[in-house]
């Protein structure tokens, strides 16, 4: 998988430097994808001092277009982020190109340390670091990731309408995806070689719905002029497909949350950070949003969860400021 970062149209980022340690921020946001930037926009517009530290590798950077995002259907994911950077900066949010390596609680909030050694502290911490996709280890598969090889029917199913769809299932539960994809095309082949064998009844139901079940093992991806052309099978034959829906393993990029000791819960995607409906983790003052909180969140939900959390974080900071003022009033001995 390539390691490309934000597109050249992206405004230059401030270098990670000790300048970020010059103030105690209201909120530090780790991660500047759809979620982190949505939280930053709302908090900066609420006149909070917001610092976003972003390693600039949004999960969907491999895809030229994103779908199902109202008013941005077909828009480039990297352009969305670039727009977000501009919008956050326009309201005085600070965004720095940095990867956080350490997060810890301190007396009056939290401290983060970047890989380059810069320190920053804040009253509240929002983690929006997301997740990464680990593809099955099939030669050539990663070369087409985000284009000819995709994962999400809601994101890319419509574009596969009427085309030759290959579904590379990695588990029996993954057969559900094949059944979803049947809505888009009558030419669907389900490759079950990664699973070993699937229950006979499952196979019969797939076939009853007009899908082919291919149990030979996929050995490699066949490309022609850089485009996906098919899947090589272990008997030397080639199955022609136009698009492959794979079942990558989602890996949480939750190092900061684990360092802070946030509880995790079991999900169908594996252990994931536990949050309440507002995005609060089990560590007071630490919030998780987007894919950091919900592995299934697509862009609108990632942004929405971050907006929800941002309102709650600001509400909490206002309440703290009011409580501090009330204490000062009490200390002055003002009669009630
Ligand atoms: C190929 C592909 C296609 C997709 N297509 C669609 C689509 O069409 N429509 C749709 O709605 N969804 C789509 N998605 C899902 C989409 O990618 C996610 O919903 C979205 O990226 C979640 O946003 P996020 O802000 O939580 O995480 P991300 O967008 O992944 O942003 C996380 C950010 O945090 C940064 N980060 C991570 N760790 C650190 C650290 N330690 N320090 C600092 N920064 C850090 C990352 O570099 C990244 O910039 C697709 C996903 C993939 C893989």
Does residue 3 register a pLDDT over 50? no
Looking from the CA of residue 301, the nearest atom of ligand 1 is 19
Q: How confident is the model at residue 196 (pLDDT cuts 50, 70, 90)?
A: confident
- What mean pLDDT comes out for the span 14-32? 83
Ligand 1, CB cutoff 6 Å, lining residues: 30-36, 53-60, 62-63, 66-69, 99-100, 128-130, 133, 146, 150, 152, 155, 253, 290-291, 297-299, 302
Calculate how far, in angstroms, residue 131's C-alpha sits from the geometric centre of ligand 1. 7
Residues 113-144 pLDDT 10s: 999 999 999 999 999 999 999 999 999 999 99
Domain boundary residue among 181, 213, 245? 245
In this structure, are 129 and 208 located in the same domain? no
Predicted confidence at residue 336, as pLDDT, reads: 54
Q: Evaluate whether residue 176 is within a structural domain.
A: yes
- The verdict on residue 13 lying in a domain is no
The tally of domains found in the chain comes to: 2
**Atom 20, ligand 1: residue with shortest CA distance:** 299
Q: Does residue 196 share a domain with residue 266?
A: no
Mean pLDDT of 236-262: 97
Do 88 and 147 fall within a single domain?
Answer: no
Q: How sure is the predictor about 14, in pLDDT bands with cuts at 50, 70 and 90? A: low
Instruction: Dump the DSSP string for 49-113.
Output: -EEEEE----GGGG-S---S-TT-TT--HHHHHHHHHHHHHHTT-EEEE--EEEEEEETTEEEEE
Ligand 1 atom at minimal distance to the Cα of residue 53: 43
Distance from Cα 335 to the centre of ligand 1, integer Å: 54
Q: Decide if 295 is inside a domain.
A: yes
Same-domain check for residues 259 and 126: yes
Using the atom order of ligand 1, give the atom closest to the CA of residue 156. Answer: 8
Confidence of residue 22 (pLDDT cuts 50, 70, 90): confident
26 and 129 fall within a common domain = yes
Tell how far the Cα of 33 is from the centroid of ligand 1, in angstroms: 6
User: Residue 12 domain-assigned?
Assistant: no
* Ligand 1 probe mutation, 70, 228, 298, most atoms within 8 A of CB: 298
CATH number of the structural domain spanning residue 307: 3.50.50.60
Q: Identify the domain containing residue 206 by its residue range.
A: 136-245
Ligand 1 atom closest to Cα of residue 34: 25
Kindly give the distance from the C-alpha atom of residue 130 to the centroid of ligand 1, in angstroms, as a whole number. 6
Question: What's the pLDDT band for 2 if we cut at 50, 70, 90?
Answer: very low
- Quick check: is 8 in a domain? no
Indicate the pLDDT class of residue 1, thresholds 50, 70 and 90: very low
pTM: 0.95
In angstroms, the CA 19 to CA 25 distance is 12
Is the pLDDT reported for residue 282 higher than 50? yes
Domain end: 225, 245, 265, which one? Answer: 245
Instruction: Show which of 245, 279, 308 is a domain's final residue.
Output: 245
pLDDT exceeds 70 at position 287: yes
Mean pLDDT across the chain:
94
289 CA: nearest ligand 1 atom: 26
Instruction: Output the CA 60–ligand 1 centroid distance in Å.
Output: 5
Q: How confident is the model at residue 258 (pLDDT cuts 50, 70, 90)?
A: very high
- Report CA(315)–ligand 1 centroid distance (Å): 27
- Pick from 14-23, 167-176, 228-237: least confident: 14-23
* pLDDT for 13: 63
CA distances to 167, 267, 279 from 305, in Å:
30, 18, 7
- Ligand 1 atom closest to residue 57's alpha carbon, by position in its atom list: 47
Q: Are 169 and 195 in contact (CB under 8 A)?
A: yes
Quick check: is 336 in a domain?
A: no
Report pLDDT digits (tens) over 38-87.
Answer: 999 999 999 999 999 999 999 999 999 999 999 999 999 999 999 999 99
What pLDDT is stored for residue 129 in this prediction? 98
Specify the long-range contacts of residues 69-76, CB closer than 8 Å, at least 24 apart.
69/298, 69/299, 69/300, 70/300, 76/7
Rounded percentage of the chain residues whose pLDDT exceeds 90: 91
Span from the CA of 299 to the centroid of ligand 1 (angstroms): 8
236/146 same-domain check: yes
What's the distance, Cα to Cα, between the start and end of the chain in Å? 66
Confidence class for position 20, pLDDT limits 50, 70, 90:
confident
């Amino acid at each position: 998988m390539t390691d490309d970062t934000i597109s050249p149209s992206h405004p230059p980022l401030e270098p990670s430097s000790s300048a970020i340690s010059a103030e105690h921020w209201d909120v530090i946001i780790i991660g500047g994808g759809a979620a982190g930037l949505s939280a930053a926009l709302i908090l900066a517009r609420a006149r909070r001092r917001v610092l976003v530290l972003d390693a600039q590798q949004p999960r969907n950077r491999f895809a030229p277009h994103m779908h199902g995002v109202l008013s941005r259907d077909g828009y480039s994911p990297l352009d969305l982020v670039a727009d977000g950077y501009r919008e956050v900066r326009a309201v005085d949010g600070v965004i720095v190109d940095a990867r956080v390596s350490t997060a810890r609680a301190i007396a009056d909030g939290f401290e983060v340390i970047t890989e380059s050694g810069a320190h920053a502290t804040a009253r509240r911490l929002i983690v929006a670091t997301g997740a990464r996709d680990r593809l099955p280890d099939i030669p050539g598969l990663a070369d087409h990731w985000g284009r000819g090889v995709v994962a999400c029917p809601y994101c890319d199913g419509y574009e596969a309408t009427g085309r030759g769809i290959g579904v590379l299932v990695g588990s029996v539960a993954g057969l559900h995806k094949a059944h979803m994809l049947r809505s888009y095309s009558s030419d669907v082949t389900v490759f079950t070689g990664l699973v070993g064998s699937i229950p006979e009844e499952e196979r019969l139901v797939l076939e009853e719905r007009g899908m082919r079940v291919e149990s030979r093992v996929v050995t490699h991806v066949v490309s022609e002029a850089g485009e996906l052309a098919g899947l090589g099978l272990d008997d030397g034959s080639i199955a022609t497909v136009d698009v492959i829906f794979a079942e990558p393993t989602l890996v949480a990029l939750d190092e900061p949350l684990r360092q802070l000791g946030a509880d995790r819960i079991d999900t169908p995607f594996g252990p994931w950070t536990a949050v309440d409906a507002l995005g609060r983790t089990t560590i007071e003052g630490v919030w998780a949003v987007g894919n950091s909180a919900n592995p299934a969140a697509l862009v609108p939900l990632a942004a929405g969860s971050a907006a929800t959390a941002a309102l709650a974080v600001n509400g909490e900071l206002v309440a703290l400021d009011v409580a501090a003022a009330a204490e000062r009033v009490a200390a002055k001995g003002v009669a009630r």
